[in-house]
A and B are shown apart, each in its own frame.
Chain A
Amino acid sequence: MDFVKPTIEYAELAPLLIVLGGACLGVAVEAFLPRSPRRTVQLVLTSVVLLAAFATTIWVATDLAEVAGGAARGLLTAEGTIVVDGPTVFLWGLVLLLSLGGVALFAERRVEGGVSAFAGQAAALPGTEAEREASTRGWEHTEVYPLLLFAVGGMMLFPASNDLLTMFVALEVLSLPLYLLTGLARRRRLLSQEAALKYFLLGAFSSGFFLYGAALVYGFAGSMQFTAIAEAVRNDTGNQALLLVGMGLLAVGLLFKVGAAPFQGWTPDVYQGAPTAVTAFMSAATKVAAFGALLRLFYVAFGSDRWSWQPMMWAVAILTMVVGAVVAVSQTDVKRMLAYSSVAHTGFILTGVLGVQGAGELADGQITSLQAVLFYLAAYGVATLGAFAVVTLVRDSNGEATHFDRWAGLGKRSPWLAGAFGLYLLSMAGIPLTAGFVGKWAVFTVAMSAGAWPVVLTAIASSIVAIFFYVRYIRIMFFTEPHAGTPAGEVASVTTPSLLTSATIAAGVLATVVIGVVPGPVLDLAARAGDFIR
């Protein structure tokens, strides 16, 4: 057997390589720099790397060649294992922008009184002398920045991967840093460690399913590459049982990552236990990356067998929306409420996944499901990042005040911040003139055009339920007084953040309003992304 030297298209892969290279550099910084300048160096390094990657993503996006008669743009790179096409660069740009917001929240020090939201020394036991020492000396883990970069690298590779093995590796590269970041909270460390344990065990369990699915589909098609799998699916060669079981197991792995029911169990625990900055980053960027991968796998590799997987997706979408919306109603913790709302949103995005697939099957003026999902991801990512950023600021003497009683009357004390949170909630609820409305409208339309009306009806019903619990928070913030006689330390107030968090929240508000009022440019951008390269 001959071994051929692989050709790698470095120019097209530059954004990905910059992020992963920056992450390795960050590890070296940890090893060689003394403690005092590390945080500044890491922060500058991470921001520069993300900005450079974003700039190169734009450069790559403008340079993609048209293929397949103009329906798609891009090329296969690295011997066909990674594909850089329109949807890939759109998702890259989105993930990078959201992670810039994530870095800003990671670096916030002012709300904790001069230290970051991460444990001073993760190895020190909670409540011991060692922990107090780490805290009084103002130590902090600057490893979180390289960890974030590794996660971002995995998130960029995930939707770009064009074979099952690359997709599995990307899945792990994005998950492993997130497991660690989840366990690094400075306050409520038992909760944080427990969340990390649950996330890790369930995540490893689900990636086992993903991998076994990959093995079975490989057994069916004789190749890991999506193009070859699609070919085998079209020609009906191979053992159908292997294909169906493999497809189901792959779906388990991916649906776990996006947090769809019945695999949503980890979402509320992890979102609540993780440091809120990590939750903000994870809830926004992971969803973007995992939906990109889900779409690519099911549209490109299994696209011609969609009658086998669509009924399953119908059921999962309906169940996800109902579970997310109904359970969110009974939540009294703002982080858990946002977690269940993210489950409901997963259901709405899955509704979009059910839509018509290719541009060739569309009437004039209709949008493709890919375009709708990309738009929804942008709208949702911005809103959830911003909402969790607000949660980091509402505090009492014990740290973040996440119980919803504590939020009573917040609108009177800090109208701007409560207004921003209200706007994010309205966007998630899908009220007109916010980004969320256009996103919902887009995914419902594409699902209707594919004849998935039962799913759309459920989606509309869940949206109405969802409006109830979103509006309840707005009522609590603006129209309720805190209980009389609450001790002063127990009343939640808004801590003044540094410019980093304020800028993130402000950018999120701006994006939500602008995309909501003038959705055209972003919809165009999603349309320009075109189709997946098959």
Chain B
Amino acid sequence: MTDVTPYVVLSAILFSIGAVGVLTRRNAIVVFMCVELMLNACNLALVAFAKQHGNLDGQVAAFFVMVVAAAEVVVGLAIIMTIFRTRRSASVDDASLLKY
């Protein structure tokens, strides 16, 4: 059994960078890229664990995650594009009509 701990730690670091980015960045596109970073961190963890357990479940899952992420990009960019065209800004702070 290979020791996969370094890879899992790396994936945790990537995931945290992504999560912090989502919370702190203001541009919707960058926020969305941070979400993608989180998904890719998941992929790394899945593949590392697949290596550790010696089965293919994790690797297959990684492919599914890529496909799902691609579908999410389509929907997400469509929504961000509409917002941008309406408001001439992709900042998540500007969209603040709905509150309280």
Partner-B contacts on A (CB < 8 A): 1, 122-123, 125-126, 165, 168-169, 172, 176, 179-180, 183, 189-191, 193-198, 200-201, 204-205, 208-209, 211-212, 214-216, 218-219, 222-224, 268-269, 272-273
Query: Cβ of B42 and Cβ of A211 under 8 Å apart?
Result: yes
CB distance from A347 to the nearest CB of B (A): 21
A269 to chain B: which residues have CB within 8 Å? 98-99
B22: A residues at CB distance < 8 A: 201, 205
Known contacts being A172-B68, A218-B49, is A208 close to B39, with CB within 8 Å? yes
Other than A198-B95, A212-B45, give 15 A-B pairs with Cβ distance below 8 A. Answer: A123-B82, A126-B86, A168-B64, A172-B72, A179-B79, A194-B98, A201-B31, A201-B32, A205-B19, A205-B22, A208-B38, A216-B45, A219-B48, A222-B49, A223-B55
How many of B's residues come within 8 Å of A, CB to CB? 47
Given contacts A123-B82, A201-B92, contact A215 B49 (CB under 8 A): yes
* Contact of A180 with B78 in the complex, beta carbons under 8 Å: yes
Q: A208-B39, A269-B99 are in contact. Are A201 and B72 (CB under 8 A)?
A: no
Q: How far is the CB of B92 from chain A (nearest CB, A)?
A: 7
Chain B residues contacting A169 (CB-CB under 8 Å) are 64, 68
**Cα A352 to Cα B72 with chains together (Å):** 33
Interface string of B75-92 (1 = CB under 8 A from A): 110111011011100001
Contact A224 B57 (CB under 8 A): yes
Q: What CA separation (Å) do A224 and B65 show in the bound complex?
A: 14
Per CB-CB distance, the 3 closest pairs between chain A and chain B, nearest first, are A208-B38, A219-B49, A222-B53
| B61 interface residue per 8 A CB criterion | yes
| Cβ contact of B98, chosen from A179, A191, A200, cutoff 8 A | A191
- Shortest B66–chain A CB gap in Å is 12
Given contacts A212-B15, A212-B38, A212-B42, contact A222 B55 (CB under 8 A): yes
Chain A residues closer than 8 Å to B60, beta-carbon distance = 165
* Interchain Cβ contacts under 8 Å between A and B, 26 examples: A125-B86, A165-B60, A172-B71, A176-B71, A179-B76, A179-B79, A180-B78, A193-B83, A196-B82, A197-B79, A197-B92, A205-B19, A205-B35, A208-B42, A214-B42, A215-B11, A215-B42, A215-B49, A218-B46, A218-B49, A219-B49, A219-B52, A222-B49, A222-B53, A269-B98, A272-B98
Contact B97 A191 (CB under 8 A): yes
The distance in angstroms between the C-alpha atoms of A378 and B12, with both chains bound, is 40
**A208-B35 in contact (CB<8A):** yes
Name the contact of A176 in the complex, choosing from B39, B65, B75 (C-beta under 8 A).
Answer: B75
Min distance, Cβ B94 to any Cβ of chain A, angstroms: 9
Q: How far is the CB of A403 from chain B (nearest CB, A)?
A: 13
A273 to B79 CA separation, bound complex (whole angstroms): 14
CA–CA, A126 and B92, complex, Å: 19
A223 and B39 CA atoms in complex are apart in Å by 19
- Determine how close the nearest CB of chain B comes to the CB of A184; give it in whole angstroms: 10
**Chain A residue, CB-CB nearest to B82:** A193
- Complex contacts, A168 vs chain B, CB 8 Å: 64-65, 68
CB neighbours (8 Å) of A123 from chain B are 82
Residues of chain A within 8 A of B35, CB atoms compared: 201, 204-205, 208
Which residue from B46, B52, B76, B99 sits with its C-beta under 8 Å from A204?
B76
| Closest Cβ–Cβ distance, residue A371 to chain B (whole Å) | 33
Cα A420 to Cα B77 with chains together (Å): 41
Output the residue of B45, B72, B98 with the most chain A CB within 10 A: B98
Return B82 CB to nearest CB of chain A, in Å: 5
Which residue of B18, B45, B75, B98 is within 8 Å of A215 (Cβ)?
A: B45
CB nearest to A190 among chain B residues: B97
Q: List the B side residues contacting A193 at CB < 8 Å.
A: 79, 82-83, 86, 95
Chain B nearest CB: distance from A378 CB in Å? 30
Which one of A122, A212, A223, A272 lies within 8 Å of B41 (CB-CB)? A212
Q: Does B13 sit at the interface, judged by CB under 8 A?
A: no
Q: For residue A219, which residues in chain B have a CB less than 8 angstroms away from its CB?
A: 8, 45, 48-49, 52-53
